[in-house]
Amino acid sequence: MFARVWPSSEALLRPRDPSDSYFEAAKSVWWIHDETLNIWSHLTAAALLLASTIRFIIRFYLCREASPTTSTWAIWIYLATATSCFFCSALHHTLSNHSQTAFWLRMDHFGITMFIWGSALSFSVLCFTNHRTTQRAYLGVLTLSMILSLSRLWQDTTHWTHPSRVVIFTHAAHGGLATVPALHFASRIRSRASKAEKRLFWSFLALVVNRTRNGTWGNA
């Protein structure tokens, strides 16, 4: 019975024919082919993150009259970059058989770069609240790294059918730099961090699940 319903391995590995039509490429999301799982996994994640973002914003303005704080903006940036990353990836996989696939692969990597920046930025804002100088330093360095990474990816003249060494090195450098705030904060926790800061660190790890899902960050 399951053999009749579940697609065969040949169907899941079957590539789509090259196309110059965006409509035909978009229509293929309903077919079974080698990009089906990639398309729907990224599209589902993008839809869930977008719903969380909208709910977060609505609940914030319904439950709180004060202006958005720096921490609130950090959460919005995180959600926006995460949503954009998965949406760009879904577009790339949807249009991977299109003649302009190189452009959409580039956009996919732009989304990854922005998500790395948004994740590290929100972490720095929330975990270095009581250390403004350190916080601003990380925000400046991370933003500069993001701008340089986007510029380097844009200037890469390779064919962009597959990630080149330039792309891999750019993501590795940008991603490696993005881990510095977390390593810094972890070292502070082990040495001289207060109990409140330790609780803040672990609260951040559960932030997306517990806060953005319920849209209650404004009430924290």
Q: Per the annotation, where are the binding residues for Zn(2+)?
A: 93
The pLDDT value recorded for residue 1 is 41
Look at residue 6 and tell me whether its pLDDT is greater than 50: no
Check if the beta carbon of residue 160 is closer than 8 Å to that of residue 189.
no
Check if the beta carbon of residue 113 is closer than 8 Å to that of residue 150.
yes
Distance, in Å, from the CA atom of 92 to the CA atom of 26, rounded to the nearest integer, reads: 11
Any domain includes 130: yes
Enumerate residues 6+ apart whose C-beta is below 8 A from 12: 32, 33, 34, 36, 37
Any domain includes 42: yes
Largest distance between two CA atoms of the chain: 64
Any domain includes 6: no
Any domain includes 219: no
Q: Give percent of the chain above pLDDT 90.
A: 25
Q: Which of 193, 210, 215, 106 is nearest to 152 (CA)?
A: 106
Any domain includes 3: no
Q: Which long-range contacts (CB under 8 A, 24 or more apart) does 97-103 make?
A: 97/15, 97/16, 97/17, 97/18, 97/19, 97/25, 97/28, 97/35, 98/18, 98/19, 98/20, 98/21, 98/22, 98/25, 99/18, 99/19, 99/20, 101/161, 102/159, 102/160, 102/161, 103/160
The DSSP output letter for 19 is B
Residue ranges making up the domain that contains 200: 36-209
Any domain includes 14: no
Distance, in Å, from the CA atom of 176 to the CA atom of 183, rounded to the nearest integer, reads: 11
**Per-residue confidence band for 217, with pLDDT thresholds at 50, 70 and 90:** very low
Q: For tokens 């609940």, what's the residue?
A: 59
Any domain includes 21: no
Any domain includes 214: no
Give 32-75 as a DSSP string: -STTHHHHHHHHHHHHHHHHHHHHHHHHHHHH--SPP-HHHHHH
Q: State the average pLDDT over residues 169-174.
A: 86
Other beta carbons within 10 angstroms of residue 179's beta carbon come to 14
Global pTM value: 0.74
Residues 12-24 have pLDDT tens digits of 567 777 778 888 8
The pLDDT value recorded for residue 57 is 81
Q: Per the annotation, where are the binding residues?
A: 93
Give the chain's domain count: 1
Residues 39-77 have pLDDT tens digits of 899 999 999 999 988 888 887 776 665 667 788 888 889
